[in-house]
A and B are shown apart, each in its own frame.
Chain A
Amino acid sequence: MKLLVCISKAPDTTAKISFSADNKEFNSAGVQYILNPYDEWYSLVRALELVEAQGGTVTVVNVGPAENDTLIRKALAIGANDAVRIDAQPLSAMFVAKQIAAYAKEQNFDAIFCGKETIDYNGAEVGPMLAEYLDLPFLSFANHLEFDGGKAKVSRDIGDGTEVVEVEMPFVLSAAKDLAEQRIPNMMGIMKAKQKPLQVVAPVDFQDKVKVTTYELPPAKTAVKLIDPENMDELVRLLHEEAKVI
């Protein structure tokens, strides 16, 4: 079984978000970057569990500059067999999908895993775009996955419940919470990761179709209005008359 796991870089969940003075660029000064949690905790770990149980390899792929190698090595330390970095600064989801599709097309993976979404741009677009470029089925928001012969059984989140579906390989999947449990790399994994292959490939040409023109922080909240805990009628009145939400 040959699996590909797409990993991306995202600001740490506790990062304070700020922008350049003209609001045109994200201010990365002082921001700690992590592997996108959905990619690392659920997608990568489930791929590893399946390969550990049934044999095969897990390759991780990232689209990004050389500074991402530290994070890619972390994925190798968690257990991936090898890594590919497509050497480009990604500016849109379609750019990323196009690059990964160009690489994966020649590789005959049995399944390609993505995270549900990245925690920076929250688009959930790379998985379905990749599936469309490769003309493969796509299963979004998987919270349970089993392989059985050439087939996969997937439980997926559909917003107001879950649905269980079956699909033949190959396919593309996006991982939601519950698909697996986060793994912390151990010393042995970290040592081994240094020796594992990390191949750097050149990007294919692609013109971005969308561009962020401005960023904006939410307006500062006005000071909280404190309500007497004995007087909940007053809170209900304010929610009705002032806030007009009930």
Chain B
Amino acid sequence: MSVLIYVESNKGGFKKTAFEAVTYGRKTADALGVPCVALVLGAAENAGSLGSYGASRVLQVQDAGLENFDSQVYANVIAQAAESVGAQVVVLSQTANGKALLGRLAVRLDAGSVSGAIALPDTKGGFRVRKSVFSGKAFAEYELGTEKKVISLAGNSIPVEQLGSPVAVEALSVDVPAPKVRLVEIKRIEGDIPLPEAELVVSGGRGMKGPENWGILEDLGKALGATLACSRPVADSDWRPHHEHVGQTGGVIRPNLYIAVGISGAIQHLAGVNNSKVIVVINKDPEAPFFKAADYGVVGDLFEVVPRLTEAVKKFKAS
């Protein structure tokens, strides 16, 4: 018996969400009293470092068929690894590719699954996992009665912890089927931390009045080290790219800090962001509904308040 974590590698390295998944897997394994095994597919440097986050073994499969992501191939290989280590729980990261794998693995392993867990499982008298539902408007606790379970972990839900030390990487030999999906090209957004992983987010709405005014938000984002986001009308008007849209029909995020600038706070927008740990709202309209969901509010002209906040952040960082 064991807990298996599929650790996503990205351009040969690991992101914070990968370390979160290992920590989550280790704590789940400890609660069940079984070993915690990490699985890496394809090329990755320093896979043994996953031991530091709690993996007691690290397995790696290297094969030309794993060079690019194909959910059918990856699910097949992860399922083989799960069987070889007798995994009763498989943990994934709730990333774009993790979402494509979760359902496939659940069917393959005949397992109960929860997509986007936000807390460690409750293993007292059963196995229950908490997740956010109704696009952030509520939470639900899922009971998994199956022998095998597959869980994906929502980003920024648990802190990464040092729970061990580096281990030797073991090569795992499995049959890798031929991929059916052929990669033509990848276009990555350079620079910013992707929104689902971001701890700090600065977001603009219609109150920004036009795309030409975004410089003040970019300055604030840069000063804080925050990722930029926007409301739906902003993305729909093509003021900002669609991947920045957060809300019920855009990205649902859970950063530590969400600064909403010139966003009124319609229910559909709140659904995507109200799991943020701290919300700051800057709006000139004191009646804006967003203030009801905010921890800190600034009633004022954003074109004056935002540059002032940027200066204050710079001063704080320099001190």
Comparing B80-88, B165-173, B210-218, B271-279, the segment that makes contact with chain A is B271-279
| Minimal beta-carbon separation of B203 from chain A (angstroms) | 15
| Nearest CB of B to A196, in Å | 28
Assembled-state Cα–Cα distance A235/B278 (Å): 12
Q: Is the CB of B182 within 8 A of A236?
A: no
**Contacts known (A211-B145, A221-B293); A139 close to B257, Cβ less than 8 A:** no
| A-B contacts, 15 listed (Cβ < 8 Å) | A13-B271, A14-B268, A119-B135, A140-B97, A140-B99, A153-B184, A158-B186, A159-B196, A177-B242, A213-B141, A213-B143, A217-B139, A221-B295, A225-B295, A230-B308
Would you call B53 an interface residue if the criterion is a C-beta within 8 Å of the partner chain's C-beta atoms? no
Closest Cβ neighbor of A127 among chain B residues: B103
B101 at interface (Cβ–Cβ under 8 A)? yes
User: What are the 3 closest A-B residue pairs judged by CB atoms, nearest first?
Assistant: A229-B300, A128-B103, A161-B188
Check if A19 sits within 8 Å of B138, measured CB to CB.
Answer: yes
Q: Are A131 and B72 in contact, CB atoms less than 8 angstroms apart?
A: yes
Complex Cα–Cα for A128 and B150 (A): 14
Query: Are the C-beta atoms of A140 and B249 separated by less than 8 Å?
Result: no
Residues of chain A at the chain B interface (Cβ within 8 Å) = 11, 13-14, 17, 19, 37-38, 93-94, 97, 117, 119-133, 135-141, 143, 153, 156-168, 171, 177-178, 209-218, 221-222, 224-227, 229-230, 232-233, 235-240, 243, 245-246
Asked whether, in the complex, the Cβ of B144 is within 8 Å of the Cβ of A224, the reply is no
Main secondary structure of the interface of B (DSSP, over half): mixed
Residues of B near A227 (CB, < 8 A) are: 296-298
Q: Which residue of B lies closest to A164 (CB)?
A: B184
- Interface size bracket, B side: 35 or more
- Check B124 for interface membership: any CB of A closer than 8 A: no
Q: Which residue from chain B places its CB closest to the CB of A93 in the assembled complex?
A: B103
Instruction: Assess whether B113 is in contact with A125, with CB atoms less than 8 Å apart.
Output: yes
* Nearest residue, chain A, Cβ from B224: A246
CB pair B295–A229 under 8 Å, yes or no, is no
In the complex, A239→B259 CA distance in Å? 11
Which one, B71, B139, B298, contacts A229 given CB within 8 A? B298
Given contacts A164-B185, A226-B298, contact A13 B145 (CB under 8 A): no
**B312, A133: Cβ atoms closer than 8 Å:** no
Residues in A with CB closer than 8 Å to B75 are: 128, 132
- Would you call A236 and B316 a contact (CB within 8 A)? yes
Q: Is the CB of A212 within 8 A of B245?
A: no
Task: Give the docked Cα–Cα distance between A163 and B128 (Å).
Answer: 35
Nearest-Cβ distance from residue A180 to partner chain B, whole angstroms: 13
Of all chain B residues, which has the CB nearest A229? B300
B51: interface (CB < 8 Å): no
Q: A124-B115, A140-B97, A210-B112 given; name 18 further pairs at CB < 8 Å.
A: A13-B248, A94-B113, A97-B107, A119-B249, A120-B133, A121-B140, A131-B71, A132-B108, A137-B70, A138-B100, A157-B96, A209-B112, A210-B113, A212-B140, A218-B137, A225-B297, A245-B278, A246-B257
**Closest partner residue, chain B, to A166 (CB atom):** B182
Tell me if B280 is interfacial: C-beta within 8 Å of chain A.
yes
Q: Is B9 an interface residue (CB 8 A)?
A: no
Cβ of B16 under 8 Å from chain A: no
CA distance A226 to B283 in the complex (A): 11
Inside 8 A of A167's CB, which chain B residues have their CB? 180-182
Contact call B113/A128, Cβ cutoff below 8 A: no
Which residues of chain B have C-beta atoms less than 8 A from A233's C-beta?
A: 312, 315-316
Do residues B103 and A214 form an inter-chain contact, with CB atoms below 8 A?
Answer: no
Q: In the complex, which residues of chain B have a beta carbon less than 8 angstroms from the beta carbon of A117? A: 99
Residue interface mask B279-319, A partner, CB < 8 A = 1: 01100000000011111111111001100110111011000
Q: Are B141 and A212 in contact (CB under 8 A)?
A: yes
Flag if B278 contacts A132 (CB, 8 Å): no
Q: Given A37-B249, A211-B145, check contact A129 B295 (CB 8 Å).
A: no
Q: Are B114 and A210 in contact (CB under 8 A)?
A: yes
Near A by CB (< 8 A), chain B positions 193-232 give 194, 196, 199-200, 224
Contacts of A122 in B (CB 8 A): 115-116, 132-135, 252
User: What residues of chain A lie closer than 8 Å to B184, measured between beta carbons?
Assistant: 153, 163-166
- Asked if B187 and A131 make an inter-chain contact with CB atoms under 8 angstroms apart, the answer reads no
Using CB atoms, name the residue of chain B closest to A211. Answer: B143
Return the chain A residue nearest B257 by Cβ. Answer: A245
A38 and B224 contacting across the interface, CB-CB below 8 Å: no
Q: How far is the CB of B9 from chain A (nearest CB, A)?
A: 13
Residue in B closest to A94 when the chains form the complex, CB atoms: B106
Asked if residues B103 and A129 are in contact (CB atoms below 8 Å), the reply is yes
Q: Nearest CB to that of A210 among chain B residues?
A: B112
Q: Which residues of A contact B268 (CB under 8 A)?
A: 13-14
A178–B199 Cα distance when bound, in Å, is 26
